[in-house]
Chains A and B, each alone.
Chain A
């Protein structure tokens, strides 16, 4: 990865940055993760490898997302397979569908 690529991924005016941080905090809070919210790699896989979450965790995340943003996750949604690929994918989905 070149320096300019790296700069692009952590660009300070990333429009999702606030939402990413907020989601990371909601997730670490809901799941009692040891990890400080700031240390979740926004591009790491949430399931299995990476953050190592399981299906119970995914249900908990679906719950905080519905409470906080009014977004109901649906498995039959065409975008569903992408949502939990990473925190960034989740943030993009929430940003596109949030009701509050």
Chain B
């Protein structure tokens, strides 16, 4: 948040990449040759000029005037991993971001009632950027500087915040919190996004945290669009001025903070009253822990490894809308001269670790049909094949 505010005030543009793999960092440097990395920890292995905070922080005056930022100004590029391997920048202008977050603050009941917010997600992807950086900034709230990881740390940190307080997390964090033996403090608001939450989990979370759980639906392209109180409703309510329509076999969002009609990456069923049901991702989309990719892209990275003759990423089971926990992706590779450790090491340089195949099967040939295609069913059958080479 400090970094984003500093960039805002100094006329810079924030770049928010989904991952820091060496390949993505190289692409970022090509996209913006004057890019530098603002960090609060020792440099790590990111190959960019580094600016350490707070080493660079000078004396601050006690009171700053509220700055005026032009609505049309580009303040950030949020990146998604594109299908061709080049991260795709999504330009964000200040006015549209503010419009979106203010609409959300009304829906969340935060208007005139600022909360202290604890986030368990990083601010570099769209959900974290909007909900942990912009939401407190624009609703008069405060963001806790700590980003705790373990359930016991999350609970201790949350308990230390003044009320009203909110916890920003994901279905994975919620499930781990509820299942752990940690003492759960009261949270006046719970926010979840990145994957649909099961209603049973939402009910349990509301009961044990003594606060409402609101799920947010959005995407990097569109920003946040809709909300539901999962414990009480299954349909999603759109931000007031946003509308949905169907065209070309896909659902499009328009109006409100959206600059132009934008296609959504999920299967949606629009209801007569304007609300909608979410039926899961489109066939090729992979979404794990808020990080997005596609099977086509992952497959391309696998077959790009020297020594991999053929290969494919696939979903180990059919997609379900209401999943608890995480669906990982699996992969099969034909690479007679390589072992699994070598392939995984090469993949780790190219893709985010959450997309590493689990399992990675080494096989003699892929089950292509007569037209050369790979039926999902045939790939899944590999998982049960006892004759494959162990990875």
B152–A72 touching, CB < 8 Å: yes
Q: Which residues of B in the span 346-391 have a Cβ within 8 Å of any Cβ on A?
A: 348, 353-354, 356, 358-360, 390-391
Check A74 against B152 for contact (C-beta < 8 Å). Answer: yes
- The smallest C-beta distance from A39 to any residue of chain B, in angstroms, reads 10
Q: Contact at A63–B176, with CB atoms within 8 Å?
A: yes
- B148 CB-CB contact with A under 8 Å: yes
Interface residue SS majority, chain A = loop
Q: Which of A49, A58, A70 touches B345 (beta carbons < 8 Å)?
A: A49
> Which B residues lie within 8 Å of A33 (CB)?
358-359
Contact with B along A45-67 (1 / 0, CB 8 A): 00011001011101110110011
Distance in Å: Cβ of A41 to nearest Cβ of chain B: 12
Number of interface residues of B (CB under 8 A): 29
Cβ-Cβ contact count across A and B, 8 Å cutoff = 67
B residues in contact with A74, CB < 8 Å: 150, 152-153, 156
List, in ascending order, chain A residues with CB within 8 A of B390's CB: 34
- Whether B182 and A72, one on each chain, are in contact in the complex, defined by CB atoms closer than 8 angstroms, is yes
Q: Is B179 an interface residue (CB 8 A)?
A: yes
Judge whether B181 and A66 touch: CB under 8 Å: yes
Known: A33-B358, A34-B391, A76-B153. Contact between A52 and B344, CB under 8 A? yes
Query: A52 contacts B176, CB within 8 Å?
Result: no
Which of A31, A59, A72 contacts B172 (CB under 8 A)?
A59
> By the criterion CB–CB under 8 Å, are B148 and A75 in contact?
yes
Closest chain B CB from A2 CB (angstroms): 26
Whole-angstrom distance between the alpha carbons of A11 and B373 in the complex? 51
B260 close to A (CB within 8 Å): no
Please state if A75 and B153 are interface contacts (CB–CB under 8 Å). Answer: yes
A19 is an interface residue with CB less than 8 A from chain B: no
| Bound form: Cα–Cα A90–B32 in Å | 42
Contact among B151, B328, B356 for A66, CB-based, below 8 A: B151
Q: B353 touching A54 by the CB < 8 A rule?
A: yes
Q: Give a binary string over A5-30; 1 marks a CB under 8 Å from any B CB, 0 the rest.
A: 00000000000000000000000000
A-B contact pairs, 16 of them (CB 8 A): A32-B358, A33-B359, A34-B358, A34-B360, A48-B353, A49-B345, A56-B326, A56-B354, A67-B179, A67-B180, A70-B181, A72-B180, A72-B181, A74-B152, A74-B156, A75-B149
Residues of B whose CB lies within 8 Å of any CB of A are 148-153, 156, 172-173, 176, 179-182, 288-289, 326, 328, 344-345, 348, 353-354, 356, 358-360, 390-391
Smallest CB-CB A-B distances: 3 pairs? A34-B359, A72-B152, A54-B353
Further contacts, 17 of them, CB under 8 A, given A34-B391, A70-B181: A34-B359, A34-B390, A52-B344, A54-B353, A55-B149, A56-B289, A62-B150, A62-B151, A63-B176, A63-B180, A66-B151, A66-B180, A67-B180, A72-B152, A72-B181, A74-B150, A74-B153
